[in-house]
């Protein structure tokens, strides 16, 4: 298959009450692990790419690896810019071949966030690319973004309605008490905020900072209106721990494939557990038939 926008998968996820996983890719091994398991589980999947990863891999490699993954797949795969910082970056990604983008205007005023998001939606939709935006500010650190705990702002239902009325977006990331990165203390998800917004607007909602949230809280969030969950840190930790262990216990490793394969297998295991937790396995037929 070719890369697809994420709108059909999210509409189906909202209807059938499961969450489509977004797993961030940083290299070939992450991409292979994520796409191989998603195919085995027959799950739709969103490959998230942050701006630092575009710098790390180079745009041509990002596009080539994602297209190679889609070509050999029978599942819907979206290539999605994670936390796009500006209209210009979004346009570069769309021109290069991304099938979906996030514009993160949460650092701006509410009005400027709406205007920027609307501009991106108009440009992206004209070429069939889906758009995610962010309302409120999600705490923690991810890539080049850092938000202090005290600066976290949770959105109101009224703001969500106004945002939705002015932007015809495909997915809305809402700040609901989760944070990027790993938690020092257990996070408290504001289920009341999710419910209020899910009951106010029809747009599928996105949970960022899902790493380290207890499984039962994830399932409850899906049941009350979350249709996409981003996973990044847990895959990074799984890969790093597995690689560290094999290198520390084998002084004479020279062939890098020996530890890269072990890291890739660790990511596969994590991806499988998330797909099953989010109930996105065996959902691809409904999405493809609905098109």
User: Which stretches of the chain bind Zn ion, using CB under 5 A?
Assistant: 208
Q: Which is nearer to Zn ion, 208 or 228 (CB)?
A: 208
Backbone angles phi, psi at 103, to 5 degrees: -110, 120
Alpha-carbon span 12 to 17, nearest angstrom: 8
151 is catalytic: no
Least Å from the CB of residue 82 to Zn ion: 6
Q: Which is nearer to Zn ion, 208 or 272 (CB)?
A: 208
What is the chain's Cα-based Rg? 18
Least Å from the CB of residue 248 to Zn ion: 31
Q: Which is nearer to Zn ion, 12 or 211 (CB)?
A: 211
Backbone angles phi, psi at 97, to 5 degrees: 130, 10
Instruction: Name the residue with the smallest CB distance to Zn ion.
Output: 208
- Measure Cα distances from 289 to 44, 72, 221 in Å: 13, 19, 27
Instruction: Reduce the DSSP state of residue 173 to 3 states and report it.
Output: strand
Whose CA is closest to 14, among 240, 233, 210, 278? 278
DSSP 8-class letter at 39? H
Alpha-carbon span 93 to 130, nearest angstrom: 12
Least Å from the CB of residue 120 to Zn ion: 16
Selected catalytic residue, list 82, 104, 170, 217: 82
Q: Which is nearer to Zn ion, 147 or 243 (CB)?
A: 147
Least Å from the CB of residue 159 to Zn ion: 19
Token pair of 238 as six digits: 């799984």
Catalytic residue numbers?
Answer: 82
């Amino acid at each position: 298959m070719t890369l697809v926008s994420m709108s059909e998968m999210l509409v189906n996820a909202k209807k059938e009450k499961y969450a489509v996983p977004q797993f961030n890719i940083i290299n070939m091994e992450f991409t292979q692990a994520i796409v191989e398991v998603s195919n085995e589980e027959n799950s739709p999947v969103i490959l998230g790419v942050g701006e630092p990863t575009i710098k790390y891999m180079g745009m041509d490699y990002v596009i080539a690896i994602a297209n190679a993954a889609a070509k050999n797949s029978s599942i819907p795969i979206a290539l999605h810019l994670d936390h796009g910082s500006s209209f210009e970056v979004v346009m570069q990604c769309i021109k290069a071949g991304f099938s979906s983008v996030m514009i993160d205007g949460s650092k701006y005023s509410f009005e400027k966030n709406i205007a920027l998001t609307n501009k991106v939606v108009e440009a992206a939709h004209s070429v069939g690319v889906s758009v995610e935006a962010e309302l409120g500010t999600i705490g923690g650190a991810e890539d080049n973004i850092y938000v202090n705990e005290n600066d976290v702002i949770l959105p109101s239902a009224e703001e969500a309605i106004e945002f939705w009325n002015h932007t015809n977006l495909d997915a809305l990331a809402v700040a609901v008490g989760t944070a990027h990165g790993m938690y020092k203390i257990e996070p408290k998800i504001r289920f009341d905020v999710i419910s209020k917004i899910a009951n106010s607007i029809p747009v599928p909602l996105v949970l960022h900072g899902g790493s380290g949230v207890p499984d039962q809280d994830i399932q409850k969030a899906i049941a009350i209106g979350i249709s996409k969950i981003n996973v990044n840190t847990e895959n990074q930790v799984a890969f790093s721990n597995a690689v560290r262990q094999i290198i520390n216990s084998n002084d004479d490793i020279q062939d890098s494939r020996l530890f890269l394969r072990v890291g890739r297998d660790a990511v596969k295991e994590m991806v499988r557990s998330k797909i099953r937790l989010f109930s996105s396995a065996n959902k691809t037929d409904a999405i493809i038939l609905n098109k």
